[in-house]
Amino acid sequence: MFKNYLSVALRSFMRNKVFTLINIAGLAIGISASLVIFLIVQHEFSYEDFLKNKDRMYRVVTTLHFPDQEINNGGVPGPLHTAVEESVPGIEKSTAFWMNYQMDVNITDGNNKSETFKKQKDILYADEGFFQMIPYTWLTGDPGDALNAPNQVVLSESRARVYFPYQDITRAVGRTITYDDSIQAVVTGIVADLNEVSGFKFSEFISMATYLDDWKKYHDGDEWGSVNSTSQFFIQLEPGVDPERINEQLAELRKQHSKEDDVPTEYTLQPVSDIHFNAKFDSMSSPHGHKPTLYGLLVVAAFLLLLGCINFINLTTAQSSQRAKEIGVRKTLGSSVGQMRLQFLSETFILATLAAIISLSISPLILRIFSGFIPEGLQFNLRQHPMILVFVAGLILVVGLLAGFYPAMVLSRLKAVLAIKNTSTEMNRNRGAWVRKGLIISQFVIAQFFIIATLIVGKQIRYSLNKDMGFNREAIINFSAPFNFYNPDNKQFVLNDRLQGIPGIRNLSLAGSPPASKGTMSTTMEYVEDGKNMETTVEVKYADTSYFNLFGIRLLAGRNLQPSDTLKEYVINAFYCHFLGYDDPHDIIGKTIKRGDKNIPIVGVVNDINTKSVARAIGPLAFTSLRKYHTNFHIKLLPQGDASGSWNKTIDAIRAAYRDIYPEEEFNYSFFDDDIAAFYKKEQDIAQLLNWSAGLTIFISCLGLLGLVLFITTQRVKEIGVRKVLGASIGQLVVLLSSDLMKLVLIAFLIAAPIAWLVMNEWLANYAYRTDIGIWLFVLSGLLMFVIALITLSTQTIRSALVNPADSLRSE
């Protein structure tokens, strides 16, 4: 029986090639988008799944309760882990480790030939508990004592291969590695790279004892009062232990060790499964995932699938009269209603399967569309992800039912008597016309929504990029001098002097971070006056004398900063000035801010600047000069084409000077306006996703429209002929044929516009500074959809209006 269905299905697909293509294209786009999104989502949700005792594993994290701000930190103070291990019962295993940002690695071979590897990443100081909790596979070495003495290091296989040329990589054991020219460690083990979705992926594990011995003096590692996010502490509870109990004991420990004037601090257990998505606390070796984005992606996938299914439903039910005869005949031949349903459902499944096969081949293309959302290392590879096939099978089932169920119901219900009537007038009654209209409207509501959202997000990005942030950003480049915290060499001042002589530079500043940057340095400042005590968190930036001038930041009162090597004076922003109760900035000059036991005078007030993306509101800010921390160069270039020549020439000269002074370093610079644009990477990703979603939903919806108008025009050929004979103009006929469908597009706009308005207002509320939506944007997006739909319809309506009535009216 199935073969009979299959033959009919395939032959009718072939006969109705256009409709089949429209159906398959719509479904294939939906299926491949779902596939790719499935891969992304399933990757994102599988973090740390490889840990067998994941539900008993926790990270200890720190929350600092400042007066008007809560600061979360994924790390803990250095001494906490020893204290916990000594005094808190119920802990089965624990590990403490320090993550290093970058280190320079030096390997010297037997012939005293040495090789340097700059800025190596993923290096840890780990204690021997690390490998007991995180199941790396050991290629060589003893997990029991590979990390329990100073100056030991365990390497991942791939990292070992970078450093050592051995075919048999286990021979690297016993070799010595020098870190940052100061620490030496002997390789005691090699582990296989962790091939799991995990934040515990590191490449070099130096024994913790090395760190304690050598570096303690530089860090605050032994203090309860400070916390560094690189200092990680994980515990695995014994089965049945309530994490709340541990939290209470951590609070007790804190009480014992805190001093009176410490900021109230809380240590809590963070489930390992929470780390990847909880942006409040720092992540480890992988960037945070973002659940709302994933949900957004799922919604997009669902919409695309839905639209494909709607096309199928509409085209199938619209053509029901063509199938009616077969249905009637089959019923007289003995088919039951159930068998008819089965037949039509299986037709849908065949089509869905074809679409799925095609989608497997276009998925790499779709993968590119979502490139901004694809986690590193995720590939579309059937061998790597065999569950893709299971998922595709599931999708076929879902799509088959979703798209096939309603048409199967409608078609199988057709009365045999009507179907086999010799005259066909009966069957041409449009079955399910209402449902079809509703579905078209919902398709275009979705497409219209995406158009509006795309335009609004684009507008907000343009607004963000062009907003006056309170400083200049044009023709400014930034780069930083290498800075050795432990052993300041002051070479940046030498470079500074050298740069002064380069002709293409208009202005030069050696200071801290630029006016707007990713990282933030903030501190609690206390302002005391007339018994009023105002304590608040203030962002701090280091500036030199030319900083304000270079960035076009205006002094509203007082004077510029003077160079200083110690904390001597502050220039604050207008916001902080108002915050402290001064409407006229001149009145605050000379007042002081209490820092520890010193009173630091306020010598100037500057205009407010946005130090972050425009999502963030302006807050209190203070500039000061602390020359030893000034390692960022800001250079304002002269306009191109002047006597000074091109920017490239100037930058080449800067590079040459830099290489002279730091022969071993790479010169990396960036244009300040590019850096600011990069603040909006996430928005750009969203915009890209929306662009594509809008494009694809419009495409699928218009495919459906095309199918329907094709059907309608064929069905009305005679009518068109008669009307033409009666004197209708081409224009009148086109309007006649298009108006019904265009009305639906219009209704869709009326529904989509308010929804989009609400949703996008909600989104914009995330931005402290935002564009206004504006009526014209809605008008424009409505027009856009209208025109696209009209063009789609015209391809067909004009053609059929042009048909010579003599041809269409020729009797059969």
Partner 1 sequence: MPMIQLSNIERYYTTGLQKTWVLRQINLNINAGEFVTIMGPSGAGKSTLLNIIGMLDQPNNGEFLFLDEPVFQMKERHRNELHKQYMGFVFQAYHLIDDLTVYENIETPLLYRKIKKNERQSIIAELLDRFNMVAKKDLFPSQLSGGQQQIVGVARAIAAKPKLLLADEPTGNLHSTQGEVIMDLFKQLHAEGMTIIQVTHSEKYATYGSRIIFLEDGFVRNDERIGS
DSSP string, 41-81: HHHHTTTTTT-TTGGGEEEEEEEEEETTEEEEES---TTHH
Q: How far is the C-alpha of 594 from the C-alpha of 605, rounded, in Å?
A: 17
- Does 409 interact with partner 1 (rule: CB under 8 A)? no
**400 to each of 355, 509, 784, how far by Cα in Å?**
11, 65, 32
Which stretch, 2-10, 309-317, 714-722, 803-811, contacts partner 1 (CB under 8 A)?
2-10
**Residue of 276, 330, 459, 473 interacting with partner 1 (CB under 8 A):** 330
Could you tell me where the DSSP H helices lie in 261-319? Answer: 291-318
Q: How far is the C-alpha of 576 from the C-alpha of 598, rounded, in Å?
A: 20
- 170: three-class secondary structure by DSSP: helix
State both tokens at 274. 């929470």
Range 548-587, binding partner 1 (CB under 8 A) = none
CB of 416 to partner 1, least distance (A): 5
Which stretch, 3-11, 83-91, 534-542, 791-799, contacts partner 1 (CB under 8 A)?
3-11
Q: How far is the C-alpha of 780 from the C-alpha of 451, rounded, in Å?
A: 10
Neighbours of 195 (CB within 10 A): 10
CB of 4 to partner 1, least distance (A): 6
Q: Is the dihedral of CA 727, 733, 739, 741 positive or negative?
A: positive
Which residue lies nearer to partner 1 by CB, 137 or 714?
A: 714
**Residue of 69, 336, 384, 484 interacting with partner 1 (CB under 8 A):** 336
Size of the site for partner 1 (CB under 8 A): 26
State both tokens at 383. 């061998």
DSSP string, 619-640: --EEEE--GGG--EEEEEEPPT
**Residue of 59, 254, 331, 473 interacting with partner 1 (CB under 8 A):** 331
- Does 714 interact with partner 1 (rule: CB under 8 A)? no
Which residue lies nearer to partner 1 by CB, 156 or 343?
A: 343
**Residue of 326, 426, 675, 685 interacting with partner 1 (CB under 8 A):** 326
Which stretch, 129-137, 260-268, 332-340, 477-485, contacts partner 1 (CB under 8 A)?
332-340
Range 85-114, binding partner 1 (CB under 8 A) = none
Q: How far is the C-alpha of 624 from the C-alpha of 539, rounded, in Å?
A: 11
**Helices vs. strands in the chain: H and E counts, helices first:** 23, 24
**Residue of 192, 251, 279, 329 interacting with partner 1 (CB under 8 A):** 329
Between 774 and 793, how does the x/- string for binding to partner 1 read (CB under 8 A)? --------------------
Q: Are 625 and 543 in contact (CB under 8 A)?
A: yes
CB of 417 to partner 1, least distance (A): 5
- Does 8 interact with partner 1 (rule: CB under 8 A)? yes
**Residue of 342, 420, 435, 736 interacting with partner 1 (CB under 8 A):** 420
Neighbours of 428 (CB within 10 A): 11
Which residue lies nearer to partner 1 by CB, 334 or 386?
A: 334
Which residue lies nearer to partner 1 by CB, 390 or 417?
A: 417
- Does 12 interact with partner 1 (rule: CB under 8 A)? yes
User: Could you identify the residue written with the tokens 């432990």?
Assistant: 486
Q: How far is the C-alpha of 100 from the C-alpha of 79, rounded, in Å?
A: 18
Strands 91-100, 123-126: parallel, antiparallel or unpaired by DSSP?
antiparallel
Q: Element (H or E) spanning 751, and its range?
A: helix 730-764
- Does 514 interact with partner 1 (rule: CB under 8 A)? no
Q: How far is the C-alpha of 599 from the C-alpha of 682, rounded, in Å?
A: 42
Between 118 and 157, how does the x/- string for binding to partner 1 read (CB under 8 A)? ----------------------------------------
- Does 422 interact with partner 1 (rule: CB under 8 A)? yes
Which residue lies nearer to partner 1 by CB, 8 or 751?
A: 8
Which stretch, 100-108, 336-344, 483-491, 770-778, contacts partner 1 (CB under 8 A)?
336-344
Which residue lies nearer to partner 1 by CB, 424 or 668?
A: 424
Which residue lies nearer to partner 1 by CB, 419 or 690?
A: 419
Which stretch, 234-242, 416-424, 507-515, 646-654, contacts partner 1 (CB under 8 A)?
416-424
Between 14 and 53, how does the x/- string for binding to partner 1 read (CB under 8 A)? -x--------------------------------------
Residue 543 CB contacts under 8 Å (≥ 6 apart), including other chains: 509, 511, 512, 561, 571, 623, 624, 625
Which stretch, 104-112, 411-419, 576-584, 763-771, contacts partner 1 (CB under 8 A)?
411-419
Q: Are 177 and 143 in contact (CB under 8 A)?
A: no
Which residue lies nearer to partner 1 by CB, 302 or 416?
A: 416
Q: How far is the C-alpha of 184 from the C-alpha of 177, rounded, in Å?
A: 6
**Residue of 390, 417, 433, 521 interacting with partner 1 (CB under 8 A):** 417
Which residue lies nearer to partner 1 by CB, 8 or 107?
A: 8
State both tokens at 478. 């930034």
Residue 103 CB contacts under 8 Å (≥ 6 apart), including other chains: 119, 120, 123, 179, 180
**305 to each of 503, 693, 782, how far by Cα in Å?**
60, 12, 23
Which residue lies nearer to partner 1 by CB, 230 or 322?
A: 322
Which residue lies nearer to partner 1 by CB, 419 or 696?
A: 419
Q: Is the dihedral of CA 226, 227, 231, 233 positive or negative?
A: positive
DSSP label at residue 372:
G
φ/ψ (deg, to 5) at 601? -75, 150
CB of 339 to partner 1, least distance (A): 7
CB of 334 to partner 1, least distance (A): 4
Q: Which of 618, 630, 625, 619 is nearest to 604 (CA)?
A: 625
Which residue lies nearer to partner 1 by CB, 343 or 517?
A: 343
**Residue of 89, 110, 240, 334 interacting with partner 1 (CB under 8 A):** 334
CB of 349 to partner 1, least distance (A): 17
Which stretch, 5-13, 243-251, 490-498, 530-538, contacts partner 1 (CB under 8 A)?
5-13
Q: How many alpha carbons fall within 13 Å on the CB side of residue 423?
A: 3
Which residue lies nearer to partner 1 by CB, 328 or 721?
A: 328
CB of 10 to partner 1, least distance (A): 8
**Residue of 212, 241, 410, 416 interacting with partner 1 (CB under 8 A):** 416
Which residue lies nearer to partner 1 by CB, 8 or 398?
A: 8
CB of 437 to partner 1, least distance (A): 24
- Does 335 interact with partner 1 (rule: CB under 8 A)? yes
Q: How far is the C-alpha of 363 from the C-alpha of 365, rounded, in Å?
A: 5
Which residue lies nearer to partner 1 by CB, 409 or 461?
A: 409
Which residue lies nearer to partner 1 by CB, 347 or 683?
A: 347
Which residue lies nearer to partner 1 by CB, 147 or 324?
A: 324
Q: Are 441 and 755 in contact (CB under 8 A)?
A: no
Q: How far is the C-alpha of 319 from the C-alpha of 20, rounded, in Å?
A: 12
- 97: three-class secondary structure by DSSP: strand
CB of 14 to partner 1, least distance (A): 9
Q: How far is the C-alpha of 580 from the C-alpha of 77, rounded, in Å?
A: 33
Residues engaged in binding partner 1 (CB under 8 A): 1, 4, 7-8, 11-12, 15, 325-326, 328-337, 339, 415-417, 420-422
